[in-house]
């Protein structure tokens, strides 16, 4: 009983894993519909034991593909010592929906590398140790759960799955302030793999301004009072978008500059007025002197 329990536990963690998962089935049953302990039981009772063909999709899940680029899925196939691969099929199913239909993308007989691709932009090949699916000009409609199924010479099937989604550009960036915690929070709607960075007055955040959280989406502001423009820049492979939070203008510097300018102007005006006064007084004196001289001459 003890060993069975540990096997069940192992399988539970295995079936819940977020990497491209493998589900092995005898026949055509979809084991994902069963609770994992039943899957475990079925696997324990399966006739092929450890001699089953094993299939793994090597891409990490979920795989995001940029529209109009190429989707490439690689799977490794390891037949047991007594197994021979007789058929490899690639299928796609919508990820959501009540009754998603399954579309067969390609079927390849195991003994030759000639695959029948169902669509012109689909290429599948089967090699010694694996199989590759390539879809050129990826579009949103190509998203879904991809499945590669290997059938051995006795008709036993092994399937591996991988979720594929469209790579989305950055959407709806916003910055909000959390007044009670002196922090700014940057939000982004549904872009794939967003990376956050912050600027204060168009300069990277220094420790005197604040501290950015680990994932980058939050800025704890340390400067007091909070002033100026805080910009959150969100980017991914398809581009970037930004939003700015505008606090009260940073006054200390601005006010100092204004005071200096006003002082200079006043000083100039005062100096000018003084110079004018002196000049006029001298001219007056000069004229007085010359009058005096002329009077002296006539006498």
Ligand X SMILES: *[C@@H]1O[C@H](CO)[C@@H](O)[C@H](O)[C@H]1NC(C)=O
Binding site for ligand X (CB under 6 A): 178, 180-181
Q: Which residue is nearest to ligand X (CB)?
A: 178
Indicate the residue among 18 and 180 with the shorter CB distance to ligand X. Answer: 180
Indicate the residue among 129 and 178 with the shorter CB distance to ligand X. Answer: 178
Beta strands in the chain (DSSP E): 22-25, 54-57, 63-65, 71-78, 85-93, 102-109, 116-117, 122-126, 130-135, 144-152, 157-166, 174-178, 183-187, 195-200, 203-204, 210-212, 218-221, 229-236, 239-246
Indicate the residue among 119 and 181 with the shorter CB distance to ligand X. Answer: 181
Q: Least Å distance between CB 180 and ligand X?
A: 6
CA distance 161 to 146: 6
CA 24 to chain centre: 33
Indicate the residue among 142 and 188 with the shorter CB distance to ligand X. Answer: 188
Q: Least Å distance between CB 176 and ligand X?
A: 8
- 3-state SS, residue 179: helix
> Of 252, 232, 234, which is closest to residue 183 (Cα–Cα)?
232
Indicate the residue among 1 and 179 with the shorter CB distance to ligand X. Answer: 179
Q: Least Å distance between CB 182 and ligand X?
A: 9
- Using left for φ > 0, alpha for ψ between -120 and 50, and beta otherwise, residue 106 falls in beta
Beta strands in 11-84 (DSSP E): 22-25, 54-57, 63-65, 71-78
DSSP string, 228-280: SEEEEEEEETTEEEEEEEE-B--HHHHHHHHHHHHHHHHHHHHHHHHHHHHHH
184 close to 205: Cβ distance less than 8 angstroms = no
Q: Least Å distance between CB 266 and ligand X?
A: 48
Indicate the residue among 178 and 258 with the shorter CB distance to ligand X. Answer: 178
DSSP letter at 59 equals: S
Residue 164, beta-bridge partner list? 63, 144
Q: Least Å distance between CB 160 and ligand X?
A: 41
Indicate the residue among 90 and 198 with the shorter CB distance to ligand X. Answer: 198
Q: Least Å distance between CB 178 and ligand X?
A: 4
Q: Least Å distance between CB 247 and ligand X?
A: 17
């Amino acid at each position: 009983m003890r060993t069975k329990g540990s096997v069940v536990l192992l399988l539970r963690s295995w079936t819940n894993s977020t990497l491209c998962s493998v589900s092995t089935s005898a026949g055509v049953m979809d084991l994902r519909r069963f609770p994992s302990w039943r899957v475990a039981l079925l696997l324990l009772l399966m006739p092929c034991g450890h001699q089953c063909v094993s299939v793994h999709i090597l891409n990490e899940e979920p795989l995001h593909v940029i529209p109009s680029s190429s989707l490439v899925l690689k799977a490794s196939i390891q037949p047991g010592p007594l197994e021979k691969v007789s058929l490899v099929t690639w299928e796609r199913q919508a990820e959501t929906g009540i009754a998603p239909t399954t579309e067969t993308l390609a079927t390849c007989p195991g003994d030759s590398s000639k695959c029948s691709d169902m669509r012109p932009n689909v290429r599948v090949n089967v090699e010694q140790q694996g199989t590759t699916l390539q879809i050129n000009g990826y579009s949103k409609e190509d998203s879904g759960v991809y499945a590669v199924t290997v059938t051995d010479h006795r008709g036993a099937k092994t399937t591996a799955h991988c979720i594929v989604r469209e790579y989305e550009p950055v959407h709806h960036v916003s910055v909000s302030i959390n007044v009670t915690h002196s922090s700014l929070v940057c939000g982004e709607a549904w872009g794939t793999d967003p990376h956050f960075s912050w600027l204060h007055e168009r300069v990277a955040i220094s420790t005197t301004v604040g501290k950015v959280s680990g994932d980058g989406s939050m800025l704890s502001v340390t400067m007091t009072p909070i002033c100026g423009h805080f910009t959150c820049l969100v980017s991914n492979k398809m581009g970037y978008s930004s939003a700015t939070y505008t606090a009260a203008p940073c006054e200390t510097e601005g006010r100092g500059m204004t005071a200096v300018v006003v002082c200079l102007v006043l000083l100039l005006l005062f100096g000018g007025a003084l110079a004018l006064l002196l000049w006029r007084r001298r001219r007056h004196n000069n004229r007085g002197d010359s009058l005096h001289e002329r009077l002296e001459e006539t006498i």
